[in-house]
Amino acid sequence: MKIKFLVLFLALQALSGRSQSLTTSLTNSTVTAIPDGNPVGVMEQFNVSGVGGSVSNVQVTLDITGGFNGDLYAYLVSPQGQLVVLLNRPGVTSINPFGYGDAGMNITLDGLAGNNIHDYGSVPGYSLSGTTWAADGRNVNPLAAGSILYGTPTTANLSLFQNTDPNGVWTFFIADLGAGGGSASLNNVVLTIMTVPEPQTWVMLGGGLAVLGLLRPRRNC
């Protein structure tokens, strides 16, 4: 009977471990001008340490004011060197070589989101304030012709980072690649990493069930 209670306890612990997650947020709120028409851009680094488990989702919140959104190019690099393009000149297509003319955005890019930020202008009733979008994901030269840029498939969303180690240096980069349209400011960037624990409790549960099977009394024939 005690063994059965032990196995039940391990099972509950296992289920509890699977439901728990840890969210780590790192913020850089230093207002930084994004040089107009300059590929040097702005780089921010976030050092993550002591976080257990593996990545389940990543979010990047951007607060940008001014400028010309169609000029913006941004990416995020993980500690393992994986790169995800966050913005690649939003709105640029074969018939719109300049992209969207909105000035700034306050959005969250999420690995689980649906609508792609590159096409935000085609979403009915879209808002660039407090909304969530999928990253651009087009890993192609941002200075390429609109037909090439827009025609390149989305290859790597923020979901690329799933099941990786969150610890190490994450690098964020943003640049304004089109001269004119004014200078944008990066007011705030927040990197949010959600992790899930390693399934060690399931190993314990398996061992408990095995013990139960070995020690269960056998009926006499």
Q: What integer pLDDT is reported at residue 156 of this predicted model?
A: 86
In terms of Cβ atoms closer than 10 Å to its own Cβ (0-12, 13-18, 19+), residue 115 is: middle
Quick check: 119 pLDDT over 50? Answer: yes
Q: Do 169 and 66 lie in a common domain?
A: yes
Quote the mean pLDDT of the chain. 86
Q: What integer pLDDT is reported at residue 9 of this predicted model?
A: 40
Quick check: 18 pLDDT over 80? Answer: no
Quick check: 214 pLDDT over 70? Answer: no
pLDDT single digits (tens) 151-201: 999 988 999 999 999 999 999 999 999 998 889 999 999 999 999 997 654
- The interaxial angle of helices 200-215 and 2-19, nearest 10 deg, is 160
Q: Do 207 and 112 lie in a common domain?
A: no
Q: Do 50 and 140 lie in a common domain?
A: yes
Q: Could you give phi then psi for residue 121, rounded to 5 degrees? A: -70, -15
pLDDT single digits (tens) 92-108: 999 999 999 999 999 99
Q: Could you give phi then psi for residue 21, rounded to 5 degrees? A: -145, 160
Q: Do 96 and 12 lie in a common domain?
A: no
Q: What is the CATH number of the domain that holds 173?
A: 2.60.120.260
Q: Do 189 and 216 lie in a common domain?
A: no
Indicate the number of domains in the chain. Answer: 2
Domain that holds residue 62: 21-196
Sign of CA dihedral 145, 107, 105, 120: positive
The stretch 3-24 carries a mean pLDDT of 50
Extract the runs of DSSP E, i.e. beta strands, from the chain: 22-28, 32-34, 38-48, 54-66, 72-77, 83-88, 104-110, 129-133, 168-176, 184-196
